[in-house]
Chain A
Amino acid sequence: MKLRKLLCTSAIAGIVATGALAESHGWSLKDAAAPYAGTTVDVVFLLRPGYEAIEAMLPAFEEETGIKVNVIKHPYENALGEQVRDFVAGGDLDIALIDLVWIGNFAENEWIVPVDQIKADYPEIIDPDLDMDDFFPLVLNAFGGWNDTIYGLPFDNYSGLMFYNRCMLEEAGFDGPPETWEELKDTYGPALTKDGKYAFALQSKRNETQSADSFARVLWPFGGSFLNDEFRSNLNSEESQAGLKFRQDLMQYMPDGIVAYDHAETVNGFAQGDVAMITEWSAFYSTVVSPDTSAVADCVEIAPEPKGPAGRKPALGGFSLAVAEQADDDEKAAAWLFIQWATSKANAGEYLERGGVPARQSAYADESLAETYKFVPALVESWQDGVPEFRPRFAEWPEITEIVQEWGTKMMLGEVSTEEGAQEIGTRMEEVLEAAGYYDGEKPLAQ
């Protein structure tokens, strides 16, 4: 309790300090927010560290602005459905929480307001220190942008990283993590899989985890992709098949029932010392290094994801926050003020300290950060050179991911071969794209 209070005070001090700093430009959060005091904004949050971090900081914002932020918490798996239902119904949400694969959908439905629109409509609430160029450009474009328009500011940001258990690797005679996926499978796999322990675990549960964390993760490094240039399925290409077959092979070094593993099971397996290596989102760093939740906290090391024949193609994922079109004028302004504050340069440091992962380049400028947060170098590297279309970012993703989830899991279970599965996904995916009008020239073959 005491600690919390202390942190709160320091947060307020931080805001006041920022306010004072901005004062020289004649702008302060308090003054900008004054006309909107008493407004309530509704936003969907997930049950993840980045959200807990900002929630802990929230009282300071509410006190400063008089704006009330009403947080509605949902598991990731329900977050898209909840928001889509709210937006089609003209509901109460004033802020959209956007996974990078949802943005096309949200933008094309005009559920979210472009940042430039906000700037034009509410010039007086734009923080002079907003500095959009400070966001990692890749992250800003991938998480918040659609067709060259920026809608959302990156908020809960992930990159795929390799977490490995140094102690287990050393015991098996390795003095570092594998450089390539092949090495992971052929050398580390047999050496580390024994006595009920496993070399690797790849979260593959039939939901977004299957398509984003499992399927896509073996596609890109092997040179494969979902679609070719004509927007037809590329899943039966030699490269895509190589990746998918690699996943089948690798399963012998993973725990049984890996198709039921979501993030929780995978991270827990690693944290209990049952699994030597996982490729997981940066957001899980705090979980695996905290002695409260991890039995191997002292052994945890971080490396970039392994390379494949086509290079290092780490997973990219994350969420931006955007103002919802359905909000009324005051709510839009209040929503923007919150988003701007939550993703600001000034708050990035505290956000990081509390377990969030900001996408501000300036937040990582301090070299010594890498000592406290071992994930920083690998994260920064991946954000400088990642695959923004890691999962195809188009409006049809919600339908296509369902197809990938279904047949991707069937492949892993051996119910269909990788070729049959790829064929099924391809046919069904092309039907969706056809109906969307990509093939008759109605829609440009973007992304």
Chain B
Amino acid sequence: MTQPRSLLWQIVLLILVIALCVFPFYWMVTTSLKTQVVALEAPPVWIFEPTLDNYREALFEDGVLRTLINSLVIAVSTTLLALVLGVPAAFALARFEFRGKKDLWFWFITNRMVSPIVLALPFFLIARNLGLLDKHITLVLIYLTFNLPIVIWIVTDQFRGIPYDLDEAARLEGASQWTIMRKICLPLAMPGIAVSAIFSFIFSWNELLFGLILTRSEAKTAPAMAVSFMEGYNLPYGKIMATSTLIVIPVLIFALIASKQLVRGLTMGAVK
């Protein structure tokens, strides 16, 4: 059906799409292997002698390693917390009938849309009053504002897809709602739960603004660290790109793992 000429066009366009998506990463990684002198050469060079100095310096001298660990601890904790709180709520939204359900639903959605700066201002003042600045727990909690909606969204959607007669049967045998959720629905909803966990992790890992405002050194996250290399005095491009690479690699791996469900996750279940 397809003519060879149009096939050729397709190949060209597809390669172009791939190149456009991948090139910035290629450039990021190669820049991270350049010394400052090579990185500042104009026009930029493509072939050079690579060095791992930027990684060594960033990780071990400037403390990027610790911020990566902070980011990991925070992202994992907030994801677990979001699941513990969110999965039962999602079950209720999918299975129960109650007044105000629509408003509750709307409220959950709105949280996904609120600009973080709106929350960052008061959260800073509250954390200050409670002595919670620069603590991991503070970020774990505030990240719930976007993780919880994501978990509730995706998992509600997943629970809805489970045939209702399954729990009906269990209920006739006298099982409580709690048991039904745990024993019957949860195993079937695992794919959705996993996707929501990956999303929650990615969003938390990528977050900058809260990390910038609510941490200082103890709980400093990796993106906040990358930004702090940007002194007007001197920009160590290689080191900034090395740090960027270290930050981006884990999320890209996760994203590739979840690539099939990515769209569904990003649209909160609106697109299947």
B217 nearest CB across to chain A (Å): 5
Q: Does A94 contact B (CB under 8 A)?
A: no
CB neighbours (8 Å) of A70 from chain B are: 217
A226 CB → nearest B CB, Å:
22
Is residue A77 within 8 Å, beta carbon to beta carbon, of the partner chain?
yes
Interface residue? B3 (CB, 8 A): no
Pick the contact of B230 from A42, A72, A75, A89 — CB < 8 Å? A75
Q: Tell me which of B131, B133, B134, B234 contacts A47 (CB under 8 A).
A: B234
Which residues of B are found within 8 Å of A47, using beta-carbon distances? 229, 231, 233-234
In this assembly, does B128 line the interface, its C-beta being within 8 Å of a C-beta of chain A?
yes
Shortest distance between the CB of A47 and any CB in chain B (Å) = 4
Residue B216 contacts which of A48, A82, A207, A263 (CB distance < 8 angstroms)? Answer: A82
Closest CB in chain B relative to A241 CB, distance in Å: 28
Known: A89-B133, A292-B37. A264 touches B128 (CB 8 A): no
A46 touches B128 (CB 8 A): no
Verify B228–A75 contact, CB threshold 8 A.
Answer: yes
Shortest CB-to-CB span from B226 to chain A, Å, is: 12
Q: Could you tell me if A85 and B232 are in contact, using CB atoms closer than 8 angstroms? A: no
Find out whether the CB atom of B217 lies under 8 angstroms from the CB atom of A72. yes
Assign chain A's interface to a size class. Answer: 20 to 34
Complex-state Cα separation, A264 to B131, whole angstroms: 37
Whether B232 and A77, one on each chain, are in contact in the complex, defined by CB atoms closer than 8 angstroms, is: yes
A24 touches B (CB below 8 Å)? no
Interface centre among A46, A90, A262 (most CB of B within 10 A): A262
Which among A76, A86, A88, A90 is the interface contact of B231 at CB below 8 angstroms? A76
Q: Is B89 an interface residue (CB 8 A)?
A: no
* B25 on interface, CB distance cutoff 8 Å: no
Q: Is B252 an interface residue (CB 8 A)?
A: no
By DSSP majority rule, is chain A's interface helix, strand, loop, or mixed?
A: mixed
Partner of B232, one of A42, A73, A91, A209: A209
| Cα separation A292 to B36 with both chains bound (whole Å) | 10
Q: A88-B128, A292-B37 are in contact. Are A78 and B228 (CB under 8 A)?
A: yes
Q: Indicate with 1 or 0, residue by residue over A345-362, a CB within 8 angstroms of chain B CB atoms.
A: 000000000000000000
Given contacts A91-B134, A268-B40, contact A86 B216 (CB under 8 A): yes
> In this assembly, does A287 line the interface, its C-beta being within 8 Å of a C-beta of chain B?
yes
A23: min CB distance to chain B, Å: 37
Q: Which of B37, B124, B133, B228 interacts with A73 by CB under 8 Å?
A: B228
The verdict on B270 contacting chain A, using a C-beta distance below 8 Å, is no
Bound-state Cα–Cα, A92 to B216, Å: 10
Is the pair B133, A264 in contact by a Cβ cutoff of 8 Å?
Answer: no
Interchain CA distance A48-B228 in the complex, whole Å: 13
Number of A-B contacts defined by CB within 8 Å: 62
Closest chain B residue to A77 by CB distance? B232
Which of B127, B213, B231 lies at the interface centre, i.e. has the most chain A CB atoms within 10 A of its CB?
Answer: B231
Q: Does A25 contact B (CB under 8 A)?
A: no
CA distance A201 to B1 in the complex (A): 62
Contact present for A262 and B232 (CB under 8 Å): yes
Task: Please name all residues of chain B whose beta carbon is closer than 8 Å to the beta carbon of A89 when the two chains form the complex.
Answer: 127-128, 131, 133
> How far is the CB of A101 from the nearest CB of chain B, in Å?
16
Chain B residues near A209 (CB, 8 Å)? 232
Most chain B CB within 10 A, of A70, A85, A205, A292, is at A85
Contact indicator per residue, chain A 67-84, by CB within 8 Å of chain B (1) or not (0): 000101111111000100
Tell me the bound Cα distance from A291 to B133 in angstroms. Answer: 44
* Contact across chains for B134 and A48 when beta carbons are under 8 A apart: no
Among B131, B213, B233, B235, the residue within 8 A (CB) of A85 is: B213
Q: B231 and A48: CB pair below 8 A?
A: yes
Contact check, A76 vs B133: say whether CB atoms are below 8 A apart.
no
Residues of B within 8 Å of A78, CB to CB, are: 228
Q: Are B228 and A85 in contact (CB under 8 A)?
A: no
Closest to B124 in A: A85
A207 to B230, CA, bound (A): 13
A88-127 vs B, Cβ < 8 Å mask (1 yes, 0 no): 1111100000000000000000000000000000000000
CA of A74 to CA of B134, assembled, Å: 15
Residues of B207-229 whose CB lies within 8 A of A: 213, 216-217, 228-229
Q: Mark B133-148, 1 if CB is under 8 A from A, else 0.
A: 1100000000000000
Residues of B within 8 A of A287 (CB): 234
Bound: A92/B220 CA distance, A: 14
Q: A155 to B124: give the CA distance in the assembly, Å.
A: 31
What's the least CB distance linking A126 to chain B, in Å? 30
List residues of A (261-297) whose CB comes within 8 Å of B's CBs: 262-264, 268, 287, 292
Task: Name 20 A/B residue pairs within 8 A (Cβ), A-sorted.
Answer: A42-B217, A47-B229, A48-B233, A73-B62, A74-B228, A75-B228, A75-B231, A76-B232, A77-B231, A85-B133, A89-B127, A89-B131, A90-B131, A209-B232, A264-B232, A264-B233, A264-B234, A264-B235, A287-B234, A292-B37
With A72-B216, A264-B233 given, name 6 new contacts (CB 8 A): A72-B217, A73-B62, A73-B228, A75-B229, A82-B216, A85-B133
Nearest 10 A/B pairs, CB to CB = A262-B232, A75-B231, A89-B128, A47-B231, A263-B232, A89-B133, A72-B217, A263-B233, A48-B233, A264-B235
Interface residues of A (CB under 8 A from B): 42, 46-48, 70, 72-78, 82, 85-86, 88-92, 205, 207, 209, 262-264, 268, 287, 292
